[in-house]
Amino acid sequence: MSKFITLLVFTFLTVLLYAQDGPKNEPVQMADFMRSNGKIYVVVAVVVTILVGLFVYLVSVDRKISKLEKGSKV
Amino acid sequence: MLRQSWWKILCIVLLLITFIAGFLGNVPAKPILNETIRNLYFHVSMWFCMMIFFTVSLVYSIKFLRSNKMVHDWYALAFAQSGIMFGVLGLLTGMIWAGYTWGKPWSNDPKQIGAAIALLIYFAYLVLRNSLTDDMRKAKTSAVYNVFAYAMLFPTIWIIPRMVESLHPGGMGNPALNTDDIDGRMRMIFWPAAIPGWTLLGIWITTLRIRLKMLEEHKLNTQSR
Domain that holds residue B81: 42-182+205-224
Domain boundaries, chain A: 37-74
Residue B88 counted as domain residue: yes
SS3 at position B65? helix
Nearest CA in chain B to A21: B28
- The answer to whether A32 faces chain B, any CB pair under 8 Å, is no
Nearest CA in chain B to A11: B188
Which pLDDT tens digit goes with each residue over B69-81? 999 999 999 999 9
Cα separation, B63 vs A57, in Å, equals 32
pTM over 0.90: no
Domain count, chain B: 1
Which pLDDT tens digit goes with each residue over A19-73? 545 555 667 777 665 555 667 788 788 889 889 999 999 999 999 999 988 888 7
Cβ–Cβ below 8 Å for A61 and B28 = no
Q: Which of A12, A51, A74 sits opposite B218 (nearest CB)?
A: A74
Residue B156 counted as domain residue: yes
Residue B148 counted as domain residue: yes
User: Quick one: CA dihedral B46, A61, B18, B35, positive or negative?
Assistant: positive
Residue B142 counted as domain residue: yes
Residue B134, φ and ψ in degrees, nearest 5: -70, 125
Residue B37 counted as domain residue: no
- ipTM of this predicted complex? 0.75
Residue B112 counted as domain residue: yes
Cα separation, A4 vs A1, in Å, equals 5
